[in-house]
């Protein structure tokens, strides 16, 4: 298996999507005082994780393209509303097709995981012509991201077998993170007003 060749188009998709989503963030900032996008990260799944997931899901090497998150982009937002705003905008774009949606916000996972996933088919130009590559865009709030990052580390530490006591605490933490999102949503206008004032003062001082 030549992993470098296989992963090359995925790496290109990740780079292109990163530029496009960061471009959206920049445009929001030029045109309004609030950007629903806090930050964007992207990665190609490491070969060791691809192998582990293929084993876990019993996927053969010839069917590897069934893995939908080899190319992964994450969009992190301040507020839950922002997630749905971004999802709507991504669904109307003409440069890729959304082929699947997973709303783990209204349908949280057993672990407590919350996030909105879009699976897209992205046309990428290679020297051999166009190829359609499957990629996953995860859209979540800062609080959801904090929880998922910590849970991911624990999963790694315990090799997927998190002790029951820790798992129960994580579930409580997931609810606390969601409560935080709900409370912040109630004072969203005030927070945004404060951020507007801060930005205006900063740009006046920078002149």
* Contacting residues toward ligand 0O2, per CB under 6 A: 45, 49, 53, 68-69, 102, 109, 111, 113, 117, 148, 151-152
At its nearest, how many Å lie between ligand 0O2 and the CB of residue 152? 4
Q: Examine the residue annotation and report whether 136 is marked as an active-site residue of this protein.
A: yes
Q: Compare residues 45 and 105 and give the one whose CB is closer to ligand 0O2.
A: 45
At its nearest, how many Å lie between ligand 0O2 and the CB of residue 66? 9
Q: Is 174 exposed, middle or buried (0-12, 13-18, 19+ CB in 10 A)?
A: buried
At its nearest, how many Å lie between ligand 0O2 and the CB of residue 113? 3
At its nearest, how many Å lie between ligand 0O2 and the CB of residue 165? 18
Q: Compare residues 35 and 145 and give the one whose CB is closer to ligand 0O2.
A: 145
Q: From CA 148, how far away is CA 113, in angstroms rounded?
A: 6
Q: Compare residues 59 and 191 and give the one whose CB is closer to ligand 0O2.
A: 59
Q: Compare residues 21 and 35 and give the one whose CB is closer to ligand 0O2.
A: 21
Q: Report the interhelical angle of 80-91 vs 164-186 (nearest 10°).
A: 80
Query: What letter does residue 112 receive in the DSSP assignment?
Result: -
Query: What letter does residue 134 receive in the DSSP assignment?
Result: E
Q: From CA 121, how far away is CA 77, in angstroms rounded?
A: 23
Q: Which of 15, 101, 136, 159 is catalytic?
A: 136
Burial of 63-77, coded b for 16+ CB within 10 Å and e otherwise, reads eeeebbbbbbbbbbb
Catalytic machinery residues: 136
């Amino acid at each position: 298996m030549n992993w470098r060749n296989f992963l090359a188009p995925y790496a290109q998709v990740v780079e292109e999507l990163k530029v496009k989503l960061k471009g959206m963030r920049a445009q929001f900032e030029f045109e309004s005082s609030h950007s629903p996008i806090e930050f964007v990260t992207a990665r190609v799944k490491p070969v060791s994780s691809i192998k582990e997931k293929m084993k876990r899901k019993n996927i053969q090497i010839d069917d590897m393209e069934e893995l939908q998150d080899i190319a992964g982009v994450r969009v992190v937002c301040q507020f839950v509303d922002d997630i749905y705003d971004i999802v709507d905008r991504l669904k109307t774009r003409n440069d890729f097709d959304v082929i699947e949606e997973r709303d783990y916000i209204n349908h949280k996972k057993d672990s407590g995981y919350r996030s909105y996933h879009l699976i897209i088919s992205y046309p990428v130009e290679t020297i051999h012509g166009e190829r359609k590559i499957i990629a996953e865009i995860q859209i979540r709030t800062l609080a959801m991201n904090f929880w998922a990052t910590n849970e991911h580390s624990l999963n790694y530490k315990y090799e997927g077998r998190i002790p029951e006591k820790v798992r129960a605490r994580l579930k409580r933490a997931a609810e606390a993170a969601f409560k935080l999102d709900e409370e912040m949503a109630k004072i969203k206008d005030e927070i945004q007003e404060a951020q507007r004032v801060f930005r205006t003062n900063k740009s006046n001082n920078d002149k």
